[in-house]
Chains A and B, each alone.
With several copies, the nearest count.
Chain A
Amino acid sequence: MIRLTEHPFDAGALLSEFSAGRRETGAIATFTGLARAEQGAAAVLELEAYPGFTEAQIGRIAETARLRFGLHDLAILHRVGRIQPGEPIVFVATAAGHRRAAFEACDFLMDYLKSRAPFWKKEHGPAGARWIEPTAQDHADRARWDHEETAP
Chain B
Amino acid sequence: MARVLLFGPLRDLAGWRERQVEGGSIAALRAAISAEDPELALALAGPGVQVALDQALVRGDAAVGAASEVAFLPPMSGG
Which of B12, B55, B74 is A53 in contact with, Cβ under 8 Å?
B55
- Asked whether A119 and B55 contact (CB < 8 A) given A48-B7, A50-B71, the answer is no
A122 to B9, CA, bound (A): 9
Contacts of B8 in A (CB 8 A): 48, 120, 122, 131
Contacts of B78 in A (CB 8 A): 112-117, 119, 121, 134, 138
Q: Of residues 47 to 106 in A, which have CB atoms within 8 Å of B's CB atoms? A: 47-48, 50, 52-53, 56, 78-79, 89-90
Contacting pair A132 B77 (CB below 8 A) = yes
Contacts of B47 in A (CB 8 A): none
Contacting pair B77 A120 (CB below 8 A) = yes
Contacting pair B77 A131 (CB below 8 A) = yes
Contacting pair A119 B77 (CB below 8 A) = yes
Give A51's nearest chain B residue, CB to CB.
Answer: B55
Contacts of A133 in B (CB 8 A): 75, 77
Chain B interface size band reads 10 to 19
- Judged by a CB distance under 8 angstroms, whether B35 is at the interface is no
A48 to B76, CA, bound (A): 10
Contacting pair B71 A119 (CB below 8 A) = no
Contacting pair B52 A90 (CB below 8 A) = no
Contacts of A120 in B (CB 8 A): 7-9, 74, 76-77
- Judged by a CB distance under 8 angstroms, whether B15 is at the interface is no
- Asked whether A118 and B55 contact (CB < 8 A) given A48-B7, A48-B8, A50-B71, the answer is no
Contacting pair A116 B55 (CB below 8 A) = no
Contacts of A78 in B (CB 8 A): 79
- Asked whether A47 and B73 contact (CB < 8 A) given A52-B55, A53-B52, the answer is no
Contacting pair A118 B73 (CB below 8 A) = yes
A134 to B75, CA, bound (A): 9
Between-chain CB contacts (< 8 Å), 13 pairs: A53-B52, A89-B79, A90-B79, A112-B78, A113-B79, A114-B78, A118-B73, A119-B76, A119-B77, A120-B7, A120-B9, A120-B76, A134-B78
Smallest CB-CB A-B distances: 4 pairs: A120-B8, A121-B77, A114-B78, A53-B55
